Amino acid sequence: MTITLTPDQEQTVRAAIRAGQLASVEEFIERALADLPKGDEAPTVSSPTASTVFEQGLGLFGSPKDAALLDEVVSIAYEERRRPSKRDPTL
């Protein structure tokens, strides 16, 4: 079986490896398989405690659309931060 990851998914996995959260791509696959329901076990919805806060946040906005959106949000924020008051008092 060949699994093809999207570029965003691949980047997220690579970032997790670099950050030390995963040892290798193989470990990523092993963890994904371990998370599958076993036998007649009912599938569970992943809970917020299923992974660490770090893992949940890394790449949360990794898709091109979300990343562009977040860039825009930061750009708006920093534009606001640098916008001087309408009338600066003369010292």
16 binds another protein (CB under 8 A): yes
57 binds another protein (CB under 8 A): yes
52 binds another protein (CB under 8 A): yes
CB of 30 to another protein, least distance (A): 19
Question: How many Cβ atoms are within 10 Å of 59's Cβ, its own excluded?
Answer: 17
The C-alpha atoms of residue 59 and residue 1 are separated, in whole angstroms, by 26
Of 21, 44, 65, the closest CA to residue 12 belongs to: 21
The C-alpha atoms of residue 19 and residue 78 are separated, in whole angstroms, by 28
84 binds another protein (CB under 8 A): yes
Which residues are near another protein by CB under 8 A?
Answer: 11-12, 14-16, 18-21, 48, 52-54, 56-62, 66-67, 69-74, 76-78, 80-85, 88-89, 91
